[in-house]
Amino acid sequence: MNITQSERLFHKACNVMPGGVNSPVRAFQSVGGNPLFLKKGYGSRVWDVDENEYIDYVGSWGPLIFGHAHSQIVDALKRQVGLGTSYGAPTELEIELAEQVVSLVPSLEVVRMVNSGTEAVMSAIRLARGVTSRDIIVKFEGCYHGHVDSMLVKAGSGLASLGIPECPGIVEDLAKNTLTLPFNNVKKLRELFDVEGDNIAGIIVEPIGGNMGVVPPKSGFLEALREVTKKTGSILIFDEVMTGFRVALGGAQSLYNISPDLTCLGKVIGGGLPVGAYGGSKQLMDNISPMGSIYQAGTLSGNPLAMTAGIEMLKLLSAPSVYDNLEYKSEKLCAGYKLNVEKLGISACFNRVGSMFSMFFTDQDVVDFESAKSSNTKFFQSYFNALLEEGVYIAPSQFEAGFMSAVHTNEEIEQTIDANYKALQKAYS
Contacting residues toward ligand KE4, per CB under 6 A: 23, 25, 61, 116-118, 121, 144-146, 206, 210-211, 239, 241-242, 266, 276, 400
Q: Quick one: 359 exposed, middle or buried, by C-beta within 10 A (0-12, 13-18, 19+)?
A: buried
CB of 240 to ligand KE4, least distance (A): 8
> Residue 326 and residue 355: Cα distance in Å, rounded?
6
With beta carbons less than 8 A apart as the criterion, state whether 417 and 336 touch: yes
Task: Specify the residue, 265 or 346, whose C-beta has the smaller distance to ligand KE4.
Answer: 265
d(CA 369, CA 215) in angstroms, rounded, equals 9
Q: How far apart are CA 377 and CA 396, in angstroms?
A: 11
* Residue 368: C-alpha distances to residues 23, 190, 193, 359 (Å): 25, 17, 20, 14
> Cβ of residue 411: shortest distance to ligand KE4, in angstroms?
28
Catalytic residue among 239, 256, 278, 337: 239
**Is 144 among the residues known to form the active site?**
yes
Looking at beta carbons, which residue is closest to ligand KE4? 117
Q: Catalytic one among 54, 139, 256, 267?
A: 267
| Minimum CB–partner distance for residue 239 and ligand KE4 (Å) | 5
241 or 388: CB nearest ligand KE4: 241
Q: How many CB atoms lie within 10 A of CB 417?
A: 18
Quick one: residue 258, left, alpha or beta (phi over 0 = left, psi -120 to 50 = alpha)? beta
Nearer to ligand KE4 by Cβ, of 145 and 352: the residue is 145
Report the run of H or E that residue 424 belongs to, with start and end. helix 410-428
> Which of 48, 54, 139, 144 is an active site residue?
144
Residue nearer to ligand KE4 on the CB measure, 25 or 162: 25
How far apart are the C-alpha atoms of 67 and 406, rounded to whole Å?
7
CB nearer to ligand KE4: give 184 or 211: 211
Q: In the bound complex, what is the minimum distance in angstroms from residue 48's beta carbon to ligand KE4?
A: 18
> Which residues fall within 8 angstroms of residue 249, CB to CB, at 6 or more apart?
104, 317, 318, 322, 323
How far apart are the C-alpha atoms of 169 and 182, rounded to whole Å? 25
Q: For this structure, is 239 an active site residue?
A: yes
Query: Closest distance between ligand KE4 and the C-beta of residue 70, in Å?
Result: 20
Active site residues: 144, 239, 267
